[in-house]
Structure 1
């Protein structure tokens, strides 16, 4: 098997893109071709993506109307699913993962970036879960009702009482807790509170590239020890301070593997949320190049499959609800599910 065939046969998962916001700004649809951005249906196919996380990002400018804003972006997500129902499938339960593989459709997982979207209420979290949200990045860079983000270095604040309650409720509901952008104190609080593996959907190694958004060696070891996964982020500033490249990204892979093995690494491109791209990784269609680079570095087929998506699939299958659930609270078999 050559590396291109390996890529085509792998369950490629990208755990973070900001395409919902980018489509609004660029006035485009997922099915549009040649309208800019980094992610569309054609390029997802070219990149071999099987499951794409779509983040509803709550920008600081929307903080005062965060609940309304997240509903706007979820509505856009639903609209794209409807327009592209022959190409895409909504993932809300662990059972959907196999169905995606069987149908050949692209699986779409709905995520939120920024706990401001909860409006300080667990009831809102539960309603967002009913709408199909299955992953929540607790903070962006700044402080919110859940915790401090990485920009709040002066306070060293971790999870608030509400933030701890959110993590526990997410565990109960079957939602992925995402520690990207979270303060280091908050990271350790999450690992203390969570009964499930957690993810860092888009973050790299701080040892390789000393950026506050990257994870320390201790964080990486702890995340891996709990069965979690970190998604390699393609934002140049998180890869190398002066000369980011695909090969430099693989230096992050090498270091993380030396710390904790290949089982804690996935992909979290941050496409459509970054203003600059890394040479060789200009958009989602370029993902096969990453597979080729891993192959040339000497990684084994099973390690590459895990990095491309198998590791995130493991966490999804463990954390997501076991049944195939309709976001409205009715299973696809017509049975009522518990609300």
Structure 2
């Protein structure tokens, strides 16, 4: 059976902006390209503008804007294959038989500096999702790498969450520390997402979510996009496609199937699970979900409908 897919996270944009790959076909290398994404049924791809550590803090805004401009250039130069998702109405155009929707996200609130008005600027530039932190501390809060602080969001972080609700932007807590996570749950009237995370009960990594966090996301009508990073899937650091299935099963058991999505982190992870080496192998993963007992309806929720439901609720 052919499934449509919404992938909550990939980092291929940096490769394009840096001139390393065209993202047009598999011969360029990498995990994600337009040709394989189209062939495997990617209806919507979250494309992350990841601000690398070397640009922080002084050059973070400039690097973020460079990546956003690169995303526009990529979409405009492939108009017959890609289109920009910016509104609820745009979501009614997916799945499109000829084009993949691109939802532009920024990974790291450093792009805002210390200025709330920058959120409105990146919104006007077409950004519709923001990861409040990466692993480090920034002006909004602490990332998961700040293990000993126990800090909630800053006052600016609070204002950013509330303004994102007003604008219709998706709040991504993937890299946020646990105290910040609970603070966002308190503040946000809209569903929130962890676009590329896994289960901490199965793999005790700081980037993964506890069962309590999974339950809270579900109660908030949010979604966890299961990450394909072997280090998040298995404490040995080596993983197979079966490990991805294992995390999907656990999250579905704890939080319900409506809380599970897919967030590959392709081109942002150093290794990939055996059997999920690139975007073209997504269909094998979905077939595996049927084999372990998920219904066709459940697989359609996991691969597509859950993220689409949240986006329909959040975007204006």
Instruction: State the TM-score bracket (shorter-chain normalisation).
Output: over 0.9
TM-score (norm 2): 0.97
Aligned residues: 314
Match of 2:6 in 1: 13
Shift of 1:103: 5.4
Runs of 4+ in 1 over 6 A off after TM superposition: none
Give ranges in structure 2 of 5+ residues lacking alignment. Answer: none
Shift of 1:101: 2.5
The answer on whether the counterparts of 2:239 and 2:272 sit within 8 Å (CA) in structure 1 is no
The answer on whether the counterparts of 1:89 and 1:100 sit within 8 Å (CA) in structure 2 is no
Distance 2:185 2:225 in 1: 17
Match of 1:291 in 2: 286
* Alignment CA distance shift 1:33-1:246 (3 Å): closer
* Alignment CA distance shift 1:24-1:168 (3 Å): same
Matches within 5 A, 1:16-31: 16-25=9-18, 27-31=20-24
The answer on whether the counterparts of 2:16 and 2:70 sit within 8 Å (CA) in structure 1 is no
The answer on whether the counterparts of 1:16 and 1:268 sit within 8 Å (CA) in structure 2 is yes
Match of 2:48 in 1: 55
Match of 1:333 in 2: none
Q: Does 1:128 align with 2:125?
A: no
Distance 1:311 1:11 in 2: 12
Shift of 1:32: 4.0
SS at match of 1:43: helix
The answer on whether the counterparts of 1:22 and 1:273 sit within 8 Å (CA) in structure 2 is no
Matches within 5 A, 1:1-339: 5=1, 8=2, 10-25=3-18, 27-63=20-56, 64-102=58-96, 104-242=98-236, 243-321=238-316
Distance 2:308 2:4 in 1: 8
The answer on whether the counterparts of 2:60 and 2:111 sit within 8 Å (CA) in structure 1 is yes
Moved more, 100-109 or 219-228: 100-109
Higher relative contact order (CA 8 A, sep 6+): 1
Moved more, 202-211 or 57-66: 57-66
SS at match of 2:69: helix
The answer on whether the counterparts of 1:231 and 1:268 sit within 8 Å (CA) in structure 2 is yes
TM-score (norm 1): 0.91
The answer on whether the counterparts of 1:58 and 1:114 sit within 8 Å (CA) in structure 2 is yes
* Alignment CA distance shift 1:314-1:155 (3 Å): same
Shift of 1:46: 2.4
The CA RMSD over aligned residues, in Å, is 1.1
The answer on whether the counterparts of 1:109 and 1:133 sit within 8 Å (CA) in structure 2 is yes
